[in-house]
Amino acid sequence: MRTPVGIVGAGPAGLMLSHLLHRQGIDSVIVETRTRDAIEATIRAGVLEQGTVDLMVATGVGERLQREGFPHHGFELRVDGVGHRIDLHGLTGGRHVTVYPQHEVLKDLIAARLADGARIVFGASDVSLHDVEAAPKIRFTDAEGRSQVLDCDLVAGCDGSHGICRQAIPESVRREYLRIYPFGWFGILAEAPPSAEELIYARSERGFALISTRSPTVQRMYFQCDPNDRVDNWSDDRIWSELQARVKGDGFALREGAIFQKGIIPMRSFVCEPMQHGRLFIAGDAAHTVPPTGAKGLNLAVADVVVLARAVADLIQRNDAAGVEAYSATAVRRVWRAQHFSWWFTAMMHRFDEVGPFDARRQRAELDMILQSPTAARLLAENYVGQPLT
Ligand code: RFL
Ligand code: PHB
């Protein structure tokens, strides 16, 4: 098999890249370890920036998103039981975010790619990269057990934080920046009506909680937990009482319901630089991870591949290598901006057990600044809605 662009991973980065390349007349093949059913059933992100939504609409994959997504013009910052609205629309000159689950984005992209005749190899195993400096190859075993070799002009590593592509950048040139947080998020899905019209980011003495939504009948909620805790330690009753304790105040209470999914998510900030080596380009979670507090991960993956798709088109169609040569430097600027924001919002909203009383008071003063100063609130709002895509 041969393709101009071999893509490893059918997540938001890989699928969107393949879609954008196709719109510019460039063929690609995606090699993915999971099955289509597994991908379309995995619950992850929920918040799309305006730039992501606009891109999906402009490139013909936003029809269901426009119909079924929920625009959110603000969110609540709840501090020690008192709610304060962050007016995203007012603070950013009319911008907002849209709640539309990641797996729905993936369903739309997969359907569009297959309708356009794309080759997506689902259920591959033993995926490996070879000769990325000169003549890249992706080797894998397909779902029928046959060994395959895919010769490519370029390879896009879009295989997420646990993928293999990053390791193909030699250690001598690869620099990794990592921060591990001393907590994780316990996430649930529950069959319940929404408790509020907008998302709630809550800071309390007991720690952080996030009240998000998936639909009028399914709600997504998280609370800060010990990253080494076990899901079995948490009965439904215990989960609800912990969540209620973290948001209670001014008469507010969550509407409870049957919990049908539970999981613990570790929290880390990570960047790998450079995001390219030879003919390999890494994008999305393969190159960087943000803690989910700022809701940036999926949006950053999309922003990376917008830069990459344009650069690849310039190279293949105009023999202009300037874009691909600058890919890492271009993409990483936005990545670090989002890293800073995600770290800042995380640091402000979570309980850090190991910090002393000075830092606890300083953290509260920082939140007070957001609540009292429109200038400070605008900084939060502008970063949350995200920078426009270039
Ligand atoms: P993905 O989605 O991980 O996709 C990578 C794909 O590569 C496949 N793969 C391989 N394929 C072939 N060979 C291999 N060796 C392979 N190894 C892996 C995998 O099976 C997978 O299909 O990476 P991508 O495309 O970079 O997309 C990144 C986003 O998925 C991620 O950043 C977001 O989910 C992060 N995130 C959020 N982002 C937002 O923008 N807004 C949010 O509200 C938001 N909330 C979240 C989140 C992530 C969460 N978790 C579970 C970490 C909430 C949570 C709880
Ligand atoms: C979600 O709905 O899963 C979600 C929303 C906002 C975040 C993170 C996750 O910041």
pLDDT of 81-103, one tens digit each?
999 999 999 999 999 999 999 99
Residue 216 annotated as catalytic = no
Q: What is the dihedral sign for C-alpha 303, 309, 311, 312?
A: positive
What residues does each domain of the chain span? 2-70+97-178+268-351
Rounded CA separation 247/202 (Å): 6
Active-site pick, 22, 277, 296, 350: 296
Q: Is the CB of residue 295 below 6 angstroms from any atom belonging to ligand 2?
A: yes
Paired tokens of 388: 């426009």
Rounded CA separation 78/198 (Å): 12
Paired tokens of 83: 């709610």
**pLDDT tier at 43 (50, 70, 90 boundaries)?**
confident
Nearest atom of ligand 1 to the alpha carbon of 299: 40
Query: In this structure, which residue's CA is closest to atom 23 in ligand 1?
Result: 160
For residue 18, the ligand closest to its alpha carbon is 1
Condensed to tens digits (0 to 9), the pLDDT of residues 165-206 reads 999 999 999 999 999 999 999 999 999 999 999 999 999 999
C-alpha angle 51/106/185, rounded to 5°? 80
Nearest atom of ligand 2 to the alpha carbon of 294: 10
**Residue 107 confidence (pLDDT):** 98
Query: Which of 215, 222, 342, 346 most suits a substitution to test ligand 2, by most atoms within 8 Å of the C-beta?
Result: 222
Residue 103 annotated as catalytic = no
Q: What is the dihedral sign for C-alpha 125, 266, 174, 386?
A: positive
Q: φ, ψ for residue 40 (rounded to 5)?
A: -75, -5
Q: Is the CB of residue 18 below 6 angstroms from any atom belonging to ligand 2?
A: no
**Residue 390 confidence (pLDDT):** 76
For residue 297, the ligand closest to its alpha carbon is 1
Q: φ, ψ for residue 321 (rounded to 5)?
A: -90, 0
Half-sphere exposure of 71 (CA within 13 A, CB side): 12
Q: Is the CB of residue 292 below 6 angstroms from any atom belonging to ligand 2?
A: yes
From the options 3.50.50.60, 3.10.20.30, 3.20.20.10, 3.40.50.300, give the CATH code of 2-70+97-178+268-351: 3.50.50.60
According to DSSP H, which parts of the chain are helical?
12-23, 36-41, 50-58, 63-68, 88-91, 102-115, 236-247, 297-318, 322-325, 327-349, 357-372, 374-385
**Residue 126 confidence (pLDDT):** 98
**What is the CA 346 to chain-centroid distance, rounded?**
15
Instruction: Provide, rounded to the nearest whole percent, the portion of the chain with pLDDT above 90.
Output: 96
**pLDDT tier at 354 (50, 70, 90 boundaries)?**
confident
Q: Beta strands of 142-248 (E only): which ranges?
A: 147-157, 175-191, 200-204, 207-213, 218-225
Q: Is the CB of residue 98 below 6 angstroms from any atom belonging to ligand 2?
A: no
Separation of CA 83 and ligand 1 centre (Å):
31
